[in-house]
Amino acid sequence: MLGVSLDTAEKHGAFAAAYQLPYPLISDQSAAIAAAYGVARLGGWLPTKRVTFVIGKDGIVHHVIKSELKVDRHIDEALTTLRQLQSGTGKSDKK
Every domain of the chain and the residues it spans: 1-45, 50-95
Q: How far apart are CA 59 and CA 72, in angstroms?
A: 25
Residue count of the chain:
95
* Secondary structure class of 32 (helix, strand, coil): helix
pTM for the model stands at 0.74
84/69 Cα distance (integer angstroms): 25
For 10-20, the pLDDT digits (tens) are 999 998 999 89
Residue 79 CA to residue 70 CA, distance in Å, equals 15
Residue range 28-50, pLDDT digits in tens: 988 899 889 988 887 667 767 78
Q: Give φ, ψ of 79 to 5 degrees.
A: -65, -40
DSSP state for residue 74 in the 8-state scheme: H
